[in-house]
Amino acid sequence: MKNLLLILLLLANIFYIGNYLIRFEILSIHSMWIALFIVSICYSVFYLFQSRKHSNFHPYLAIAVLSASVSNLGAFGFLYVILHLMQ
């Protein structure tokens, strides 16, 4: 169940990256994306700290979600600032 949620969060982040690179615009629901990125960051950090106790732990999926979420949050902020400076 934990891996399924991480996979869904990673797919949502990949969708945002693809949309950002193809269209270079912010999608219509601003607060949903910010909330998704923050939830992704918090859940992946929580998963990393919680699952470190187990012996067969592979952190690659959580690290992928964490790095994608941080980069998407930075790209969102960059595009938001650029678009508001141009107006």
Per residue in 10-43, pLDDT tens? Answer: 999 999 898 888 876 666 667 888 999 999 999 9
Q: For residue 33, what are the domain limits?
A: 2-86
The span from the CA of 70 to the CA of 75, in Å, is 9
Residue 31 CA: distances (Å) to CA of 34, 51, 76: 5, 30, 11
pLDDT tens, residue by residue, 36-83: 999 999 999 999 988 877 767 788 999 999 999 999 999 888 888 888
Q: Into how many domains does the chain fold?
A: 1
